[in-house]
Structure 1
Amino acid sequence: MTTSRARRPRPDAGAQDLVARLELEIAQLRQAVSSHATVDQAIGVLISAARIEPRVGFKVLRAVSQRTNIKVAAVAEAVIAWALGEDLPRQVAGELDRAVQQYAPAGHRLKRPC
């Protein structure tokens, strides 16, 4: 008994392009979810450290990002590291204090959480 091996049709270039685009989109979505979680954690640190509302915490992170030309996720990572005992980069520290003073209610200061 002989078996014939049927040739599989090769996917066309359009299908390969679609697969590549979808794989890229999946990678970007995974990164976005990860960045979002990091930003949320940093907002939590700011809520605790400066006693501010979550929406204000995001405004603070965004302001620091814009003033330092550092991505919001990278600023968020620095804030989380600071809460865990590391020093903030000097540029971020200055802008973070400034942003908290600008957006937080009067008298609210940034204090490292215990």
Structure 2
Amino acid sequence: MPDQPGRAPATSVQQPAAEVEALRAENGQLRRALASHALVDQAIGVLVALGRISPDDGFAVLRETSQRVNVKLSVVADHVLKHAQGAVLPDVMLGALRAALARHTATA
């Protein structure tokens, strides 16, 4: 069917709709990344204050703990923040965190 005068072709309407949907998805991903980054930064601050280590070492401790217990970095960071507020860390995470802290406080 040929395009009617005054009406945009179907493809030109579908393309912006697809672009809007792609931008919404990207926006959601960026929001989650920003929240995760803030969480990690706060946990680094806790480790810096309590472990008396540098921010670089704080990040390394989180990363090593994450890898050791096979849990996402943001999840480890969340546990560290909750632990700083009195929550109990899972035993395996506590052990990995203590070991990583010991390695990095020895070099500080």
- TM interval, shorter chain, is 0.7 to 0.9
Structure that is richer in helix per residue = 2
Q: Aligned to 1:104, what secondary structure does the other structure show? A: helix
Q: What is the aligned-residue identity percentage?
A: 42
Q: TM-score, normalized by length of structure 2?
A: 0.85
Deviation at 1:103, TM superposition (A): 2.2
TM-score (norm 1): 0.80
Task: Say which SS state the counterpart of residue 106 (structure 2) adopts.
Answer: coil
State the AA in 2 paired with 1:23: R
Structure 2: gaps of 5 or more residues: 1-5
Deviations 1:48-101 (Å, cap 9, x if unpaired)? 111000000000001111111111110000000000001111111010011111
Unaligned 5+ runs, structure 1: 1-6, 109-114
Counterparts of 2:45 and 2:20 in 1: how far apart (Å)?
38
Count of matched residue pairs: 101
Cα RMSD over matched residues?
1.8
5 Å matches for 1:54-73? 54-73=55-74
1:73-112 matches, within 5 Å, as 73-105=74-106
> In the TM superposition, what is the alpha-carbon distance from 1:8 to its structure 2 partner?
6.9
C-alpha separation between the residues in 2 aligned to 1:65 and 1:26?
Answer: 26
* C-alpha separation in 1, matches of 2:78 and 2:66: 12
Distance 1:14 1:60, change over 3 A: same
Amino acid at match of 2:89: L
